[in-house]
Chains A and B, each alone.
Chain A
Amino acid sequence: MNNTFILFCQREWQLLFRNTSNLVQPLCFFVIIALLFPFSLPLENELLQRIGGGIIWVSAVLAILMSLESMFRADFNDGALEQWLIHPRSLPLAMLAKVFAHWCATGLILALFSPILCLAFRIPAEQIWVLFLGLIIGTPSLSLIGAIGAALTVTLHRGGVLLAIIILPLYIPILIFGAGMITQSYSGAAIYSQLYALLAILALAITLAPFAIAGALRTTIE
């Protein structure tokens, strides 16, 4: 298959499995950050249950933020980005594939791993499902929006801090709705409004972010 999306997905996965540190590092970071909280908080089951969901969300955001810096770095350093810029194939589609591969390596794995962390916080089973659902829908938006920042800072040698400053404020709405979903479900209310808000953000990010990433790369590489 020579479809641009499939071609770039295959390439990214091939590279991920050659260089497994990109798969393992965000996950380890996520687990460790989340597990620091139970150690530093008073040992009250009720408190941990109430704030556990939010802590797991913040850990996921930080883990994804950490993995973003290297997203375009290797492709920029070895000149692959230049080659894509002057290729007749669609750059936004190629970038969408790259973000999708990045999400599979970070957001998807974090979401799959989150139920195990929930046990550490003694979060009840119904809320585990809510958290899992929220992460599955919310993390692709995190990757897509983060990729715009990564594209803007790709030429800077130490762009990590700048990237965090640009991107973290944009993550706040996703964090509000994602963590709010668990609080809502904990108090027994329906979670649809937050779910729809997350889905709306995702739909917006999928349609607009690839073009923003492509535009950002075109202007920064010059």
Chain B
Amino acid sequence: MVLLNSPYCKIILNEPLRLANWWANIPSISFSIVALYITALNLLSDISSTSIAPILSAHELRCVRGERCLFDGVGFSLSAGQCLHLLGSNGSGKTSLLRIIAGINRPQSGDVQWRASSIFDDPANRLKYFSAVAYLGHKDGLKDELTATENLSFYRRLENASNQTLIDQDLARMGILEHAEISANKLSFGQRRRLAFARLLHADFRLWILDEPFTGVDIQGRTLIEQICNQHLASGGIIILTNHQSLATSLFAQHIKQLRL
């Protein structure tokens, strides 16, 4: 008994047991390796499929304003890196369509789907969608009393983009850095549009919804916005915009799908 209780004897007796335990683990280890392999394969196929499958799609949208039906049966689908150009005469419902896609208004019938799930009926998906979408309408959401920097700073903090030093970088990119400390109501219309556009640069918005982004900006501003849009599309973003002029000569012409209302 004394011999059995000695530490040497314990090791001799325990070691084969531990080995046996280890060998018993082999089936489970191999199983988990296979499982990991399968999930990795799934992930890879997901990534490859999302780049082909549409990320944003709309089906049979119908919008009624007052007594008049603005549009009916409108649908489209967009995958990563594509831009949708909405065309139509004044009052044909371009802005109404943009507001429906942005989730501000609800359509009379029809549905908008983000990653194959409705943005109107699925609350969890709605929140995910809202953190991926940036809407820049006729109203720019800028405060007259605040300076350009303060306006951008609020929107950065709203998106949890903590690094405040990058504001100057965004302003410089839009060419309005010298007006950073001027309150927004003293900026010209074009400068204000540039400032509103700077809001899109700081966060990871996958989808940009732009209502006439080129109104009021000069030729340099237009080229600048085209460059930024092109970069956004190249990095897998999606853009929906309205513009009265043709975009056939723009930098990102090859990515454009047209939809006439």
Contact = CB atoms under 8 A, between A and B. Distances in A.
Interface of A: 2, 7, 11, 14-15, 18-19, 74, 77-80, 82-83, 85-89, 221-222
B interface bracket (residues with beta carbon within 8 Å of A): 20 to 34
A80 B141 contact: yes
B135 interface: yes
A88 B140 CA distance: 19
Given A2-B160, A11-B154, A83 B141 contact: yes
B145 interface: yes
Given A18-B145, A82-B135, A221-B104, A88 B162 contact: no
B146 A82 contact: no
Contacts of B104: 82, 85-86, 221-222
Grouping DSSP codes into helix (H, G, I), strand (E, B) and loop, the A interface class, with mixed when no group exceeds half, is helix
18 contacts: A7-B154, A14-B150, A15-B146, A18-B145, A18-B183, A74-B144, A78-B139, A78-B140, A78-B141, A82-B139, A82-B141, A83-B135, A85-B103, A85-B104, A86-B104, A87-B130, A88-B128, A222-B105
B210 to A, nearest CB: 13
Interface string B129-159: 0110101011111111110001000100110
Contact of B130 (A82, A88, A221): A88
Contacts of B19: none
Contacts of A7: 154, 157-158
Contacts of A85: 103-104
Contact of B162 (A2, A74, A82): A2
B223 to A, nearest CB: 26
Identify which of B142, B143, B150 gathers the most chain A CB atoms within 10 Å of its CB: B143
Given A2-B162, A86-B130, A89-B158, A15 B143 contact: yes
Grouping DSSP codes into helix (H, G, I), strand (E, B) and loop, the B interface class, with mixed when no group exceeds half, is loop
Interface of B: 102-106, 127-128, 130-131, 133, 135, 137-146, 150, 154, 157-158, 160, 162, 183
Given A221-B104, A222-B106, A86 B135 contact: yes
B103 A15 contact: no
B108 to A, nearest CB: 12
The 7 closest A-B pairs by CB, nearest first: A79-B139, A18-B145, A79-B141, A88-B131, A88-B130, A83-B141, A88-B127
A189 B73 CA distance: 70
A7 to B, nearest CB: 6
Contacts of B127: 88
A88 B132 CA distance: 9
